[in-house]
């Protein structure tokens, strides 16, 4: 017979028996059946309890009649201490009733001693039962643990579990997650209709899903929106299965609701990005670590002529023109992988057409910083390049034209000034020195015409230098009143001729400003000139005063006339270039329409402004605002400058008594020589030569007190070169040299002064000016 005990492990039997013979018999029976045994025989209750408490037994075999207690009591004790150990009652005396009672109380078997042979079978059966019981207990325990584990899972699952009645939609049960997400308590949720948990925005879909569930008994990934207690919305995905009765009728649903708000947001973002990339007109691509395309947008396909499928998987070089320097392409990849690259490349379309692109790349990295690929955004810059090239060409052309224009103007200026010197100079002299009234009148006309021509020339040249931004502002501390006085004097004769009163009104004697004398006197010149031209009777007044304008100290000059006035509609346009109120063949006044626009530009240059108020038939009032630009520290200089201004007034020639100072005039134009000689000959001993070489020669052998020097000496060396030779002669190191030249463009004077000339006179010149400058130079 097969025994239950494992090999080497004896069956531990506790035998309650007061008869040694019976105990031996029992032991023999079991040994014969093949059991290895640990067989302990006891008969007293106390011993029995001790053995049971040791827990060392696999089975208890008990006689019924024992000394001091019986089998029933032994069974009861065993059931208390170790109910899992099988208990077999062996009795020769107890009747059937006791047997039944014992079996009821937990004995596994009951054997009558007469039929002791059955014992091995009974033991085996008992052991089997014990094993099965142990297994069941284990399973029950496992089930218990697993149940508690699942209830934990149910309650704390990341998803929401809801059970509801199928027909009514009433919620029966939900897990903790539902309460956490919706902020409802379990009590609040239980009994609610499921529709109260859906957001009103999706009620229609929710009802549809509900009907579908009641028809099919399940829902798979139905996306709806739930309403939290505070009314806010979350996106959910619902899966539901039905619990049915025996007849198949759906009783209730077990639903799993997953919060997919984040996923939805992410999807929305991705969708938005996808749409953006699709709609963007820039060319967008993503390449992998082998520089092969993994994504391109529609703009790229359109531009290069490759379909999406054709280009995906291709190396980026498929788009690059072979005309790109290889180092450049390497550079792009190297820098893009490192961080980013930005620049221009030549690219190729599928049909071989080359075009320039502006490309920006950057690496794509994941959250761990690993490079996933490269992102590129490019733009076809053919058009931009063309426009830039056109602009460069236009700029170069404009610069060339401007250079030509400047050259032309400089030449024209020189060529007009030289003969004008003769015209103006001699007509002036004739007026002074001829007694015949008719001839005087003619000389006056020649002189007026020449001056008008000279004025136009100066205005055109000024406009040109203002337009090319070469006009420089020469800031000095000056007395504006003095400039006004000096300017107005020039118009006294003209005003007299028209019978107009010329008036000056000053608030205070000196009005100092840190500004440009030349620009202010030109502006005043224009305004007073216009005022006289456009006034037939009455007066022209120049008024000057200090004013604070926009918290700045300013000098305000008004040039007021009582002339024809200007129509309102023309007040704006008169400051535009070339504009005259009367234009066309029928224009009634002289002028080139440049004067006021130049005035406006001069004022802008010194940070000032010009404006006008006028009434037709009554007169005009031109107002200049000139910033004083004087800081507190300049107040001292103010007085110094004032006195220095005053001393610059022309003073009488100081010729040393008796001896006329010797002057050398180097000039290639014989008419100019004649004119200058005529002007100075009474006061100076003048010698003239017509070439630079002669001039140098003369200085070697003579000691002149002053040199008048033309700069353009036609052939051979220029006036400045002549001067540098003359300066080498020790006597001429500090002898004053005055440039007397028809070069009168912006910057010319500065250049000649830098070349060693002490002073500068531009042709044509006034005889008074020539005499004054000579005198000033000679008197130091």
Task: Enumerate binding residues for ligand ADP (CB under 6 A).
Answer: 526, 530-531, 534, 561, 563-564, 566, 574, 579-581, 589, 591-597, 620
Closest to ligand ADP by CB, 511 or 594: 594
Closest to ligand ADP by CB, 85 or 574: 574
Nearest distance from C-beta of residue 582 to ligand ADP, angstroms: 6
Nearest distance from C-beta of residue 592 to ligand ADP, angstroms: 5
Question: Rounded distance, CA 75 to CA 94, Å?
Answer: 14
Nearest distance from C-beta of residue 610 to ligand ADP, angstroms: 11
Contacts with 680 (C-beta within 8 Å, 6 or more apart), sequence order: 663, 686, 770, 771, 774
Nearest distance from C-beta of residue 574 to ligand ADP, angstroms: 4
DSSP of 149-186, one letter per residue?
A: HHHHHHHH-SSEEEEEETTT-BEEEE-HHHHHHH---H
Q: What Å distances lie between residue 106 and 98, 102, 233, CA to CA?
A: 12, 6, 63
Nearest distance from C-beta of residue 425 to ligand ADP, angstroms: 25
Nearest distance from C-beta of residue 572 to ligand ADP, angstroms: 11
Long-range contacts, 432-441 (Cβ 8 Å, 24+): none
Closest to ligand ADP by CB, 475 or 589: 589
Nearest distance from C-beta of residue 597 to ligand ADP, angstroms: 6
Nearest distance from C-beta of residue 623 to ligand ADP, angstroms: 12
> Does residue 668 sit in helix, strand or coil?
coil
Closest to ligand ADP by CB, 432 or 590: 590
Closest to ligand ADP by CB, 424 or 594: 594
Nearest distance from C-beta of residue 564 to ligand ADP, angstroms: 5
Displacement of CA 284 from its chain's centroid (Å): 21
Contact 25, 117 (CB under 8 A): no
Closest to ligand ADP by CB, 373 or 565: 565
Contact 614, 565 (CB under 8 A): yes
Closest to ligand ADP by CB, 314 or 456: 456
Cα angle, residue 249 at apex, residues 247 and 250 outer, rounded to 5° = 145
Which of 295, 195, 221, 212 has the alpha carbon at shortest distance from 250? 212
Contact 710, 740 (CB under 8 A): yes
Nearest distance from C-beta of residue 718 to ligand ADP, angstroms: 35
What's the token pair of residue 375? 């992102």
What's the token pair of residue 466? 């203002």
Closest to ligand ADP by CB, 17 or 561: 561
Nearest distance from C-beta of residue 594 to ligand ADP, angstroms: 6
Residue 557 DSSP class: E
Nearest distance from C-beta of residue 580 to ligand ADP, angstroms: 3
Nearest distance from C-beta of residue 558 to ligand ADP, angstroms: 12
Closest to ligand ADP by CB, 222 or 531: 531
Report cis status (omega within 30 of 0) of the bond before 764: yes
Question: Rounded distance, CA 489 to CA 495, Å?
Answer: 10
Closest to ligand ADP by CB, 195 or 578: 578
What is the number of H-type helices and E-type strands within the chain? 24, 29
Nearest distance from C-beta of residue 725 to ligand ADP, angstroms: 44
Which of 687, 678, 732, 740 has the alpha carbon at shortest distance from 709? 740
DSSP of 512-545, one letter per residue?
A: EEEE-HHHHHHHHHHHHHHHHHT-SSSEEEEEEE
Closest to ligand ADP by CB, 162 or 625: 625
Which of 585, 634, 600 has the alpha carbon at shortest distance from 476? 634
Which of 726, 715, 735 has the alpha carbon at shortest distance from 778? 735
Alpha helices, DSSP H only, in 613-705? 635-647, 670-680, 692-701
Contact 534, 561 (CB under 8 A): yes
Closest to ligand ADP by CB, 336 or 597: 597
Burial label, 79 (beta-carbon count in 10 A; 0-12, 13-18, 19+): middle
Which of 474, 508, 491 has the alpha carbon at shortest distance from 642? 508
Alpha helices, DSSP H only, in 437-555? 437-467, 480-489, 492-497, 517-533
Closest to ligand ADP by CB, 127 or 540: 540
Q: Which residue has the tokens 């004769």?
A: 493
Strand locations in 330-484 (E)? 340-348, 354-365, 371-380, 476-479
Nearest distance from C-beta of residue 461 to ligand ADP, angstroms: 15
Question: Rounded distance, CA 30 to CA 120, Å?
Answer: 6
Closest to ligand ADP by CB, 328 or 460: 460
Closest to ligand ADP by CB, 361 or 614: 614
């Amino acid at each position: 017979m097969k025994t239950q005990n494992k090999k080497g492990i004896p069956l531990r039997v506790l035998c309650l028996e007061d008869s040694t013979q019976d105990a031996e018999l029992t032991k023999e029976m079991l040994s014969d059946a093949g059991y290895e045994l640990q067989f302990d025989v006891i008969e007293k209750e106390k011993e029995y309890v001790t053995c049971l408490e040791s827990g060392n037994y696999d089975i208890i075999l008990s006689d019924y009649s024992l000394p001091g207690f019986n089998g029933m009591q032994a069974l009861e004790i065993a059931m208390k201490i170790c109910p899992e150990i099988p208990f077999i009652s062996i009795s020769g005396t107890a009747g059937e009733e006791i047997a039944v009672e014992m079996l009821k109380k937990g004995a596994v078997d009951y054997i009558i001693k007469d039929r002791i042979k059955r014992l091995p079978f009974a033991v085996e059966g008992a052991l089997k039962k014990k094993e099965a019981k142990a297994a069941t207990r284990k399973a029950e325990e496992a089930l218990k643990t697993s149940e508690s584990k699942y209830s934990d899972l149910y309650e704390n699952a990341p998803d929401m579990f809801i059970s509801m009645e199928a027909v009514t939609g009433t919620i029966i049960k939900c897990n903790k997650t539902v309460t956490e997400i919706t902020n409802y308590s379990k009590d609040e949720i239980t009994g609610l209709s499921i529709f109260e948990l859906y957001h009103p925005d999706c009620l229609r879909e929710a009802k549809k899903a509900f009907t579908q569930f009641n028809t099919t008994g399940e829902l798979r990934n139905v996306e709806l929106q739930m309403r939290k207690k505070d009314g806010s919305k979350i996106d959910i995905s619902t899966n539901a299965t039905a619990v049915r009765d025996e007849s198949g009728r759906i009783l209730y649903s077990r639903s799993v609701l997953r919060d997919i708000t984040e996923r939805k947001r992410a999807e929305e973002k991705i969708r938005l990005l996808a749409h953006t990339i699709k709609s963007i007109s820039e060319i967008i691509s993503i390449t992998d670590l082998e520089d092969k395309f993994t994504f391109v947008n529609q703009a790229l396909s359109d531009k290069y002529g490759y379909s999406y499928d054709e280009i995906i998987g291709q190396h980026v070089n498929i788009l690059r023109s072979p005309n790109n320097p290889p180092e450049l392409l390497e550079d792009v990849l190297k820098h893009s992988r490192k961080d980013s690259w930005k620049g221009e490349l030549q690219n190729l379309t599928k049909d071989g057409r080359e075009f320039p692109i502006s490309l920006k790349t950057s690496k794509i990295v994941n959250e761990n910083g690993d490079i996933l690929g490269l992102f590129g955004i490019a733009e076809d810059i053919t058009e931009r390049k063309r426009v830039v090239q056109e602009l460069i060409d236009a700029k170069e052309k404009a610069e060339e034209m401007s250079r030509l224009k400047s050259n032309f103007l400089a030449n024209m200026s020189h060529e007009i000034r030289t003969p004008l010197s003769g015209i103006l100079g001699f007509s002036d002299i004739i007026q002074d020195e001829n007694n015949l009234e008719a001839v005087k009148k003619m000389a006056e006309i020649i002189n007026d015409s020449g001056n008008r021509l000279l004025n136009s020339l100066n205005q055109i040249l000024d406009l040109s230098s203002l337009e090319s931004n070469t006009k420089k502002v020469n800031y000095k501390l000056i007395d504006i009143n003095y400039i006004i006085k000096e300017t107005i004097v020039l118009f006294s004769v003209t005003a007299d001729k028209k019978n107009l009163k010329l008036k000056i009104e000053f608030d205070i004697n000196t009005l100092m400003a840190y500004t440009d004398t030349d620009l202010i006197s030109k502006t005043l010149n224009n305004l007073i000139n216009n005022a006289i031209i456009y006034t037939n009777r009455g007066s022209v007044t120049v008024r000057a005063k200090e004013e604070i304008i926009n918290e700045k100290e300013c000098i305000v000059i008004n040039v007021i006339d009582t002339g024809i006035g200007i129509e309102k509609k023309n007040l704006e346009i008169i400051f535009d270039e070339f504009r005259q109120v009367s234009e066309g063949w029928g224009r009634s006044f002289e002028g080139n329409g440049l004067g006021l626009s130049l005035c406006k530009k001069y004022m802008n240059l010194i940070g000032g402004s010009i404006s006008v108020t006028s009434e037709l038939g009554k007169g005009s009032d031109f107002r200049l605002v000139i910033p004083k630009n004087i800081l507190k520290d300049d107040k001292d200089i103010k007085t110094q400058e004032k006195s220095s201004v005053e001393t610059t007034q022309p003073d009488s020639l100081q010729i040393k008594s008796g001896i006329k100072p010797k002057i050398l005039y180097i000039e290639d134009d014989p008419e100019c020589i004649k004119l200058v000689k005529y002007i100075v000959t009474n006061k100076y001993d003048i010698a003239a030569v017509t070439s630079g070489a002669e001039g140098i020669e003369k200085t070697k052998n003579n000691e002149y007190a002053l040199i008048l020097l033309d700069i353009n000496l036609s052939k051979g060396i220029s006036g400045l070169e002549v001067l540098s030779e003359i300066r080498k002669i020790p006597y001429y190191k500090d002898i004053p040299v005055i440039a007397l030249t028809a070069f009168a463009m912006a910057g010319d004077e500065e250049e000649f002064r830098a070349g060693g000339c002490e002073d500068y006179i531009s042709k044509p010149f006034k005889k008074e000016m020539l005499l004054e400058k000579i005198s000033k130079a000679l008197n130091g």
